[in-house]
Chains A and B, each alone.
Chain A
């Protein structure tokens, strides 16, 4: 048996705590004429080094970031923009990798913000600032990553025709981007024809439309009809904005497939519709 195979079996025995087998492999190596020094360096020391690395790596993987995440959440709720940025800078200084910061510190905090939003226990100005702060931080983190995280799907977003309000739309866009969607934001007062044009051109499966005013929300009915006329039956239409929050049935009346009361809900709906 060559020394590499012996090593592999030796390491596996140690890892699985089969110490008698490990002892047997040392004996076997000795029987094959391997010098004691070689046994020590090529089997024992090497295996112990690898065990140590493995333990260290597991320790890093299971580091508990809940305290940092809680602090980040608290900064967001208190609208402490500088505090949130300092906390992330500190994490970077402590060699925490950007993807861990994103997934283990920021994501749980944003999930909690979403939960507060669902229960209407957080004000719009807090949500706005939390979202803006996190977007700025993410931009920085992504620039530090070796490769840009791969998008999980492409969605189209815009304010209904005649609607010049943009804050709700931007918040939904920020949430979708944060959770990995590629978002094409067509901006304010988007004619129905433009939504359809982009759905065709960009091969879109979901259109999110935001409306603050009831009479602009009503344009969604026309958009649904236009999608049907263009045989885009597969394109799902999701509505959001104050009128849809006031009347939970309004989206159905306008022919939409779903309504997203806030950004986090929009993310879940997009995931469900795309089967992610």
Chain B
């Protein structure tokens, strides 16, 4: 059974011969190619090669066509800042105030060199891995993108604003971000992505109240996923357990959980409707050794692997630059060890 079959089987709540494992390795290709992170991301050929080397080295089940989770701001004229030992971050905000909304035209991913490069990366990866490994694309979800365009504080302020002021701005903003998100996800799927991950960093109990999630985030997530012509993985990038009962409505088959979410309870609540992925702690991972990594993974597998509906991974957004090779190897190896033990125990 190859990686893709394994993933499809678990998403259908059946146990594959081995639990799929997807360590989110976005930066590590630069190490393999001995390039700086900035240089690595500057050419799609680098990322294709880097992802190929990584999958050959570790043997995990997917490849990542997107370089990092902040590229979407470029479509709005936002700027990225690069670092030596971590992913890029948003530099200059694209919008200075809500009045800028009157001036902007509907943004397009084709105006961003980074996003166009991502499409070429996905095409390249598809030509190498289509049908064998899961080819993963990504986008920032429409509800969270505004915080990266104008800042989290003005976005929160708007959510608490009087209805008469809030509604026209909110509708306009979400309409713009939704349109970009849908067209951007569809372009990635057309380029060859099997799934797109919708990263929704503001839509979790960490950031907003349940009634805000229901009123503002949920409707736009549903509309967006409905309009995307492919499979969507939902990643709230925060504590989503308090809203887990609402998740089946969004129309996605898989949610990435963070380490604070009780993955067993979430899986039970979603079983048959949505699968779960996660939820190793991607900061603590820096001080793990092989043994600890293995122990953490096996504990997680014991809790949630039986019955399918589970992919082993870290919480979002990615495995840090400083994570050791032996730890990444241990994460991937853990599914084999768990399966062997399970088979031996009948």
Query: Which residues on A are within 8 Å of B, measured CB to CB?
Result: 79, 81, 120, 123-126, 128-129, 162-167, 170, 213-216, 218, 243, 246-247, 249-250, 253
Contact = CB atoms under 8 A, between A and B. Distances in A.
B284 A126 contact: no
Contact of B90 (A126, A164, A214, A250): A164
A187 to B, nearest CB: 14
Contacts of A247: 281, 283-284, 286-287
Contact of A125 (B83, B84, B208): B208
Among B81, B85, B160, the one with the most A-chain Cβ atoms within 10 Å of its Cβ is B160
Given A215-B86, A218-B85, A249-B287, A123 B281 contact: no
Interface of B: 81, 83-87, 89-91, 152-153, 156, 159-160, 205-209, 212, 239, 259-260, 281-284, 286-287, 320-321
25 contacts: A123-B206, A124-B156, A124-B208, A125-B160, A126-B209, A129-B160, A162-B81, A163-B89, A164-B91, A165-B152, A167-B152, A167-B156, A213-B86, A213-B89, A214-B86, A214-B286, A214-B320, A215-B85, A215-B321, A218-B85, A246-B283, A246-B284, A247-B283, A250-B283, A250-B286
Among B87, B91, B156, B259, the one with the most A-chain Cβ atoms within 10 Å of its Cβ is B156
A128 B208 CA distance: 11
A128 B156 contact: yes
A215 B153 CA distance: 23
B283 A243 contact: yes
Contacts of B83: 162, 215-216
Contacts of A170: 153
B31 to A, nearest CB: 14
Majority secondary structure, A binding face: helix
Given A79-B160, A167-B153, A123 B207 contact: yes
A71 B309 CA distance: 45
Majority secondary structure, B binding face: loop
A178 B141 CA distance: 36
A123 B86 contact: no
Nearest to A168: B152
A174 to B, nearest CB: 12
A220 to B, nearest CB: 14
A246 B321 contact: no
Contact of B239 (A120, A126, A162, A250): A120
Nearest to A242: B283
B46 to A, nearest CB: 20
Given A163-B89, A215-B87, A250-B286, 15 more contacts: A79-B160, A120-B206, A123-B207, A123-B209, A125-B159, A125-B160, A125-B208, A125-B212, A128-B156, A129-B156, A164-B91, A166-B153, A218-B85, A246-B259, A246-B281
The 4 A-B residue pairs whose C-beta atoms are closest, nearest first, are A215-B86, A246-B283, A247-B283, A125-B156
Contacts of A165: 152
B205 A123 contact: yes
Nearest to B282: A246
A156 B274 CA distance: 47
Contacts of B209: 123, 125-126
A6 B47 CA distance: 96
